[in-house]
Amino acid sequence: MRTLLSGLALVLVTSWAGAADDKKDEKKLDLFPLSKGAKWEYEVSVMGQTKEVVQEVTKVTPGKKDGDRTIFTISSKIDEQTITEEMSADDKAVYRHAFQGMALDNPLTILKYPYKAGSKWKETIKIAKEEAEANFETFKPEEVKVAAGKYTAHVVVMEMETMGQKVSSKNWYADGVGIVKQEVDFGGIKITMELKKFTKSK
């Protein structure tokens, strides 16, 4: 049970929306670029120990009927393990459909368009028999420097509690790149992730 919870928390904290500042509200941002071959390489620090994590869009599945969104499978490689999740997007939002082959009861909205600093919303997460409520708040962009470069990043904070564990995350998203930095507290376990390299799809 804890393995499922930990995996779910990892996915949740790597994929939430950011917000544009007021002067850029009308610009269409792409804070979670989904396209075949897109790849993100991160350095992750967990309680003082570092690991390399590679995320890549490995599969694209067209909708079965008109109105269906294309599903993108993202594979995350950590040591010898691979974690998969299924995502989709349209001009209104980005959605999560499944994690490790387990479908969510309802697609989870993780990014909303258009963006505005100060936005708040709640989402209910249901997968297998696990259920939790996540609270989000967006903030104005910040300058952030990581190994991959310097970015103007859009910030979102997420907080949730499930099975007695509190989970919080602060995420920095760059337009056209995705997550460039995140800080997570999962029941007292602190995790920091920073982007080393981003490769656009060809």
Distances (CA, A) of 24 to 20, 61, 159, 190: 6, 32, 26, 32
Q: How far apart are CA 87 and CA 110, in angstroms?
A: 10
Q: What is the mean pLDDT of the chain?
A: 83
Nearest alpha carbon to residue 199 among 50, 49, 35, 66: 35
Supply the pLDDT for residue 129: 73
Residue with tokens 């928390």: 9
Higher pLDDT, 193 or 101: 193
Domains and CATH numbers, the chain: 2-199 (2.40.360)
Say if residue 48 is exposed, middle or buried (CB neighbours under 10 Å; 0-12, 13-18, 19+): exposed
Q: What is the pLDDT of residues 140-198, one digit of tens each?
A: 999 999 999 999 998 988 898 877 788 999 989 999 999 999 999 988 899 999 999 99
| Entry pTM | 0.82
Higher pLDDT, 199 or 138: 199
Tell me: pLDDT of 202 over 70. no
Residue 148: partners with Cβ closer than 8 Å, 6 or more residues away: 177, 180, 194, 195, 196, 197, 198
